[in-house]
């Protein structure tokens, strides 16, 4: 059985996965979860900030506001990530 697209990588004797392979898979899954939660949070906050009334389409000003809002969140995340990595 293959987990996370690793094929036979990380399998020890008897076809069991070693601890480091399992830890890497868990880390990868946690990172994916964090990214998904981040973008859901950004989407929700930006939509609340930029859209006053829902409709069938976005106005150009709504689109610009959403783009700026998402860009600000991404920039802030990049800054925070660099600080954490450099510690």
Residue 9: closest CA among 31, 29, 26, 1:
1
Cα–Cα distance list, 18 to 11, 32, 42, 60 (Å): 6, 22, 37, 53
Q: Is 10 inside any structural domain?
A: no
CB 38 within 8 A of CB 77: yes
Rg (CA), the chain: 20
Range of the domain at 60: 19-86
> At residue 77, does pLDDT exceed 70?
yes
User: What pLDDT does 2 receive?
Assistant: 44
Q: What is the predicted pLDDT for the residue at 69?
A: 95
Tens digits of residue pLDDT in 9-29? 555 556 677 888 899 999 899
The pTM is what? 0.59
* Average of per-residue pLDDT across 40-51: 92
CATH number of the domain to which 28 belongs: 1.10.287
Assess if residue 66 is contained within a domain.
yes
Q: Please, what is the average pLDDT of the chain?
A: 83
Give the pair of three-digit tokens for residue 8: 């036979």
pLDDT of 44 above 90: yes
CA dist., res. 28 & res. 77, Å (int): 18
Whether 4 is in a domain gets the answer no
């Amino acid at each position: 059985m293959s987990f996370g697209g690793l094929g036979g990588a990380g399998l020890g004797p008897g076809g069991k996965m070693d601890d480091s392979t399992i830890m890497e898979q868990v880390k990868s899954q946690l990172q994916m979860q964090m990214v998904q939660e981040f973008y859901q949070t950004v989407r929700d906050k930006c939509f609340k900030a930029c859209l006053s009334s829902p409709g069938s389409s976005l106005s150009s000003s709504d689109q610009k506001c959403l783009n700026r809002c998402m860009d600000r969140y991404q920039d802030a995340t990049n800054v925070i990530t660099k600080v954490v990595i450099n510690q």
